[in-house]
Amino acid sequence: MNNSSIDETTTNDDGIIEFIAPSEPLVIIKASDSEPVARPSIIFSDELIPSFILGETDIRVELTHLFMIQQAAIALLAQGKREVLIMTPDLEHERFDDEMFINALSAFARSSRYTQTRILVADTRLAIEDGHRVIKLVRRLSSLIEIRQLHETDLESCTANMVVDHIGLLRCINRDPWQGSLLPKGTPYAQQAQSHFLSCWERATDITDFRELKI
């Protein structure tokens, strides 16, 4: 190689490459807050999830298998604008450790500086031991997604639900088999779940273990 072509670095005899700073200062450009974040596509069908508008469509959808529950969550996240509250016993690996859900949750959290995303977990052991996409996302977006562990006095009242924008409510009532329900316009049930969540949130503790994991 022609030595004249090496103008950015020099090599010492010990094989270590010495960095030569550029003459012009480096400038880090941050994406504009107004730049839209792509939301996930919603799969609406009569056999799966009927079409709905969050806060407007007054229906109750019975969810009879895992994929329906996952798609209902994605549909709520795709339409949410302000707040997502998730309460879960153990971060439900089959339900939440899913790429489509993670992409939807990430898109919501990044969609606006005003969005708020909070997660309450009762038991973190399985998620910590096995690794979990939600944990990785929380670590990556730690300023956008908050996660806490329920206080021991609230463990018995822990439910598996998600509240979106104070009005959309997704419940998971069973895992074997998977069953749940969706209320796109769930007032007052969503507000009741929201009130319970916020009460538990005040007593909950930060989960520092997640930030220390190397996953």
Q: Confidence band (pLDDT; 50, 70, 90) for 28?
A: very low
Per-residue pLDDT tens over the stretch 64-89: 999 999 999 999 999 999 999 999 99
d(CA 106, CA 134): 10
For residue 209, the model assigns a pLDDT of 59
> How many percent of the chain have pLDDT more than 90?
66
Task: Identify the structural domains of the chain with CATH numbers, from first to last.
Answer: 55-212 (3.30.870.10)
Q: What would the DSSP string read from start to end of 26-94?
A: P-PPPPPTTSPPPPPPP---TTS-----TTT----EEE-SHHHHHHHHHHHHHH--SEEEEEESS--HH
How large a percentage of the chain has pLDDT more than 70? 79
| Cβ burial, residue 45 (10 Å; 0-12/13-18/19+) | exposed
pLDDT average, residue stretch 19-44: 55
- pLDDT, position 210: 58
pLDDT recorded at residue 12: 46
pLDDT at 141: 93
What span, in angstroms and rounded, lies between the C-alpha atoms of 131 and 93? 9
Q: What share of the chain is helix, strand, coil (3-state, %, to 5)?
A: 35, 20, 45
pTM for this predicted structure: 0.80
